[in-house]
């Protein structure tokens, strides 16, 4: 633990022997970690390694089964989010939880009001304070508008500002960058650095190693609930970190094999949903992987939802395997051989209180029944097969899926759709939150599916992913298709060029 002693300053927060069991299963064992003031500290590890659990213990969401936390030399004893907040620890959730109908300013001070005797709220003072904070962070958000309608990035900024209202010394960000555009990520990093320079401590959880290299001072790697090592980021390479994370080096993902490309499986003509996207035309052949690049909010998800019948387009034609079809709802889409892995897992994917098994089998009733009756053994076999294939980490198939780590939930949803054996597979940010070890395997799987004659439409904000996997890359910007690159033409630059909104052109060029 050489890295732990690099700083001679006294640590802000000391964790000793922190352990957590859920129903007798230990998911975090004896974590000893010193967090220094003025550092950005990455937590790394595979899906289910215990990062979020540790973060939640620090933030008072979970009570540790064993171990002690010391903040500024004083033991932390009462564990509750409010208590942690008072001590100056704030957890910024991946999906910010706030009060959508209250204004930004109100959300900022909520729970922090010192409260005069009669609980009167000082509106003017509140707004002034909110504006000061926004200026300090260098972000431009009108503090009088309601939270509803802010972009995810802006909502995150408000959450961060909220932490500053309470003068938090430790700010924990659990996978904050996943839903952000590259530019928003840069803004976030700028703010994080600024906060660090003020002497605050930031915990940063991410699966993107390049972000860790760019932002973090130290990194702690978890594996199977154990703290494996804490390192100075400057001293180690990505490969070292990966080896710490998965206990071996990562197998290199090679470009997708060229497969024989067959007939058109999905053909879209002039698809339009007013105000959302317009005039979308493209096709996907059997055996082909077509990527859709673009910035978050470019309308890619809306097109996918329209194709799958979740919110059908107003005009335009869709052909599946040569015949024109009307897809009014997802069940029709599924009958036609479509599958859709949605971006928003919590809302459109998981049945949180139901078992992993039931979640995996949800879209394939035919595979778990005989004579209309559910055969438990069949269902169990189907589900455990998927769990093995995708290496989903869980205590039992009967466990509610809400108890799995974020990445493992994502894998279970993937498993559900792979089971439908679709002829057209639409994937919306499928690797969001999935660790690098599994990503490569997932890419292999997509490649295999394509080789087996399936048509794949892959929406992704990760350019390397698009470049490595796709035969063609479409780019969307502001609801329109702006490019259709062949594999040879697609580069990071050409995709980004087509992705930026015309209105913001200059800004980016600058």
Partner 1 sequence: MSVTEKSEIAAAPQRESASARPRWQVMLIRPELMTFVLLIIALIVASSLSPYFLDIAYILDSFTLSAELAMVALVLTIMIIAGEIDLSPASGMALAACTFAYAQQAGVPIPLAVGVGLLTGLAMGLLNGILVIRFQLPSIIVTIGTLIFYRGLAQVIAGDQSIRVPEWFIGINRVLVFGIPVPVLVFVILSVVLGFVLSSTIYGRQIYLIGTNPIAARHAGIRANRIKMSLFLLIGITASIAGMMTASRLGSVRYDIALGGELQMVLMAMLGGTYIFGGRGSILGTFLAAWLLVIVSTGMIVANILPAMQLCVLGVLLIISIIATNFIYSRTQR
Ligand X SMILES: Nc1ncnc2c1ncn2[C@@H]1O[C@H](COP(=O)(O)OP(=O)(O)OP(=O)(O)O)[C@@H](O)[C@H]1O
Q: Where on the chain is the footprint of partner 1 (CB under 8 A)?
A: 1-2, 22-27, 48, 62, 223-226, 228-229, 231, 235-236, 240, 243-244, 247-248, 308, 310, 329-331, 333-335, 340, 342, 347-354, 358, 362-363, 365, 369, 372-374, 393-396, 398-400, 402-403, 416
Compute the distance between CA of residue 121 and CA of residue 127 in angstroms, rounded to an integer.
11
Of 123, 193, 209, 208, residue with least CA distance to 160: 193
* From partner 1, ligand X, Mg ion, none, interface partner of 297 (C-beta below 5 to 8 A by class): none
Least distance in angstroms from the C-beta of 1 to partner 1: 8
**Beta bridge pairs of residue 208:** none
Between CA 314 and CA 325, with CA 319 as vertex, the angle to 5 degrees is 65
- Shortest reach from residue 396's CB to partner 1, in Å: 4
Tell me if 155 contacts ligand X by CB under 6 A. Answer: no
Q: How far lies 28's CA from each of 40, 52, 266, 356, in Å?
A: 22, 10, 46, 21
Based on CB atoms, which residue is closest to ligand X, 42 or 307? 42
Among the listed ranges 102-110, 353-361, 399-407, 474-482, the one in contact with ligand X (CB under 6 A) is 399-407
Contact status: 79 vs ligand X (CB under 6 A): no
Residue 182 vs 400, nearer CB to partner 1:
400
Count CA atoms within 13 Å of residue 444 on its CB side.
11
Q: 494 touches which of partner 1, Mg ion, ligand X, none (CB within 5 to 8 A by kind)?
A: none
Per-residue tokens: 406: 């974020």
Q: If you search the block for the tokens 């034609």, which residue do you land on?
A: 317
| Contact call for residue 52 and Mg ion (CB under 5 A) | yes
Cβ atoms within 10 Å of 371's Cβ, excluding its own: 5
Nearest-angstrom CA–CA distance, 2 and 356: 41
Could you give the C-alpha distances from 456 to 269, 284, 292, in angstroms and in order?
17, 7, 11
Is residue 297 near Mg ion by the rule CB under 5 A?
Answer: no
| 410 contacts: CB under 8 Å, gap ≥ 6 | 345, 349, 430, 431, 432, 433, 434
Does the footprint of Mg ion cover residue 37 (CB under 5 A)?
Answer: no
Stretch that binds ligand X, among 51-59, 72-80, 306-314, 483-491 (CB under 6 A): 51-59
User: Binding mask 434-473 vs ligand X (x if CB under 6 A, - otherwise)?
Assistant: -x--------------------------------------
Our finding on whether 406 is near Mg ion (CB under 5 A) is yes
**Per the structure block, which two tokens stand in for 139?**
């972000």
| Residue 52 touching ligand X (CB under 6 A) | yes
Nearest in space to 173 (alpha carbons), one of 216, 206, 219: 206
294-329 as b/e: b if 16+ CB within 10 A:
bbbbbbbbbbbbbbbbbebbeebebebbeeebebee
Number of residues that bind Mg ion (CB under 5 A): 3
435 vs 465 by CB, closer to ligand X = 435
**Contacting Mg ion within 376-405 (CB under 5 A):** 405
User: Under the criterion CB under 6 A, does residue 361 sit at the interface with ligand X?
Assistant: no
The residues of the shown chain that bind Mg ion, judged by CB under 5 A, are: 52, 405-406
């Amino acid at each position: 633990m050489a890295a732990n002693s690099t700083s001679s300053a006294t640590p802000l927060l000391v964790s000793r022997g922190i352990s957590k069991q859920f129903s007798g299963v230990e998911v975090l064992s004896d974590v000893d970690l010193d967090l220094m003031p003025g550092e950005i500290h990455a937590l790394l590890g595979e899906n289910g390694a215990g990062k979020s659990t540790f973060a939640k213990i620090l933030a008072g969401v979970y009570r540790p089964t064993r171990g002690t936390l010391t903040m500024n030399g004083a033991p932390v004893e009462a564990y509750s989010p409010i208590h942690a907040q008072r001590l100056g620890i704030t957890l910024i959730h991946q999906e910010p939880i706030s009060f959508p109908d209250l204004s930004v300013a109100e959300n900022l001070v909520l729970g922090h009001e010192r409260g005069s005797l009669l609980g009167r709220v000082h509106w003017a003072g509140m707004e002034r304070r909110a504006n000061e904070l926004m200026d300090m962070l260098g972000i431009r958000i009108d503090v009088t508008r309601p939270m509803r309608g802010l972009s995810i990035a802006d909502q995150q900024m408000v959450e961060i500002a909220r932490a500053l209202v309470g003068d938090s010394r430790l700010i924990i960000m659990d996978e904050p960058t996943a839903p952000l555009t590259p530019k928003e990520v840069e803004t976030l990093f700028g703010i994080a650095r600024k906060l660090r320079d003020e002497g605050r401590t930031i915990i940063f959880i991410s699966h993107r190693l390049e972000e860790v290299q760019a932002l973090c001072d130290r990194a702690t790697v978890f594996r199977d609930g154990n703290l494996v090592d804490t390192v100075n980021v400057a001293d180690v390479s990505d490969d070292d970190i990966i080896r710490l994370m998965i206990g071996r080096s990562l197998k290199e993902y090679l470009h997708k094999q060229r497969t024989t490309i067959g007939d058109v499986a999905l053909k879209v003509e002039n698809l339009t949903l007013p105000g959302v996207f317009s005039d979308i035309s493209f096709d996907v052949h059997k055996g082909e992987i077509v990527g859709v690049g673009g910035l978050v909010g470019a309308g890619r998800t809306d097109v996918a939802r329209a194709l799958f019948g979740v919110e059908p387009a107003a005009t335009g034609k869709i052909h599946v395997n040569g015949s024109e079809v009307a897809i009014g709802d997802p069940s029709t889409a599924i009958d036609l051989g479509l599958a859709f892995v949605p971006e928003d897992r919590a809302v459109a994917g998981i049945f949180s209180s139901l078992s992993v098994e039931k979640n995996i089998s949800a879209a394939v009733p035919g595979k778990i029944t005989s004579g209309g009756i559910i055969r438990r053994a069949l269902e169990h076999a189907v589900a455990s097969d998927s769990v093995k294939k995708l290496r989903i980490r869980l205590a039992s198939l009967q466990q509610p899926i809400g108890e799995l780590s974020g990445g493992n939930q994502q894998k279970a949803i993937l498993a559900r759709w792979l089971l439908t054996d679709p002829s057209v597979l639409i994937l919306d940010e499928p690797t969001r939150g999935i660790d690098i070890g599994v990503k490569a395997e997932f890419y292999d799987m997509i490649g295999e599916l394509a080789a087996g004659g399936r048509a794949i439409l892959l929406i992704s904000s990760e350019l390397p992913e698009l470049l490595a996997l796709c035969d063609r890359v479409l780019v969307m910007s502001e609801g329109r298709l702006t490019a259709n690159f062949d594999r040879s033409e697609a580069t990071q630059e050409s995709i980004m060029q087509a992705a930026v909104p015309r209105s913001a052109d200059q800004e980016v060029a600058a």
